[in-house]
């Protein structure tokens, strides 16, 4: 539907591949906010943040292929790194979850590398929230930690509203167990942080090159990304 609307807007009788491309971007990333004016300093900060995500994704084994990276604002985001799976996936391995966390932390780490320890921005909030949510699921739902096959989810799989609160009040979930869970979540995030940091440090030159390309073109496709990061 979105592709057909794009074709009609340009008064064309046929839908082109480019219409489907723009339609997919609109559905997955939101409409581009081209009217939003960013300073060169803000554009550079966004380019560095997205380059961090992109470089880590490029150099992690199980990450989905990179499709596009842009510093044109879409929806509520100032920039976006888009990955597309090669096939439908119905489950994920521990390594895949860890690689997802590494990619999410890439933007945060890039900001630290370019601007120092106190240089990260509020733009990392969503990345950090998603990274913690993945780590929490690994520990509490999938048995992917040293705690083993425990199940301690606060998801929507409870039959009765408030059941988890009642369990907590009865002491079924002790403070000791909660403390161990929090510790394991932290262990996973810190481990991924260390690996992602090593990737960015090792590939700093190609990350700088990617930042320059983003500042010049604003949006890079898969071929352009591969060229910049393979040099």
Task: From the candidates 50, 98, 111, 213, give the one annotated as an active-site residue.
Answer: 50
CB 217 within 8 A of CB 65: no
Contacts of residue 53, defined as CB under 8 A and 6 or more positions apart, other chains included, come to 69, 81, 103, 104, 106, 107, 110, 127
Closest CA relative to residue 69, chosen from 56, 86, 82, 58: 82
Alpha carbon of residue 123 to chain centroid: 12
Is residue 216 annotated as a catalytic residue, yes or no? no
List alpha helices for the chain, DSSP H. Answer: 2-9, 17-29, 40-58, 94-115, 125-140, 163-170, 175-202, 204-217, 222-230
Q: Give catalytic residues, as residue numbers.
A: 50
């Amino acid at each position: 539907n979105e592709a057909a609307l794009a074709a009609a807007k340009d008064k064309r009788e046929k839908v082109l591949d480019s219409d489907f491309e723009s339609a997919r971007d609109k559905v997955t990333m939101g409409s581009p906010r081209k009217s939003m004016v960013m300073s060169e300093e803000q554009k550079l900060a966004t380019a560095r943040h997205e380059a961090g995500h992109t470089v880590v994704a490029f150099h992690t084994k199980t990450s989905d292929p990179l499709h596009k990276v842009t510093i044109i604002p879409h929806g509520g985001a100032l920039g976006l790194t888009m990955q597309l799976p090669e096939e439908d996936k119905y489950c994920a391995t521990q390594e895949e979850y860890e690689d997802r966390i590494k990619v999410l932390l890439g933007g945060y780490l890039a900001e630290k590398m370019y601007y120092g320890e106190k240089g990260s921005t509020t733009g990392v909030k969503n990345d950090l929230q998603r990274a913690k949510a993945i780590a929490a699921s690994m520990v509490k739902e999938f048995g992917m930690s040293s705690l083993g096959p425990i199940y301690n989810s606060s998801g929507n799989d409870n039959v009765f509203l408030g059941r988890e609160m009642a369990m907590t009040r009865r002491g079924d979930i002790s403070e000791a167990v909660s403390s161990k869970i929090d510790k394991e979540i932290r262990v996973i995030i810190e481990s991924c942080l260390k690996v992602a940091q090593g990737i960015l440090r090792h590939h700093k030159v190609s990350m700088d090159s990617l930042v320059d390309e983003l500042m010049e073109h604003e949006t890079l496709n898969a071929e352009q990304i591969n060229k910049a990061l393979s040099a």
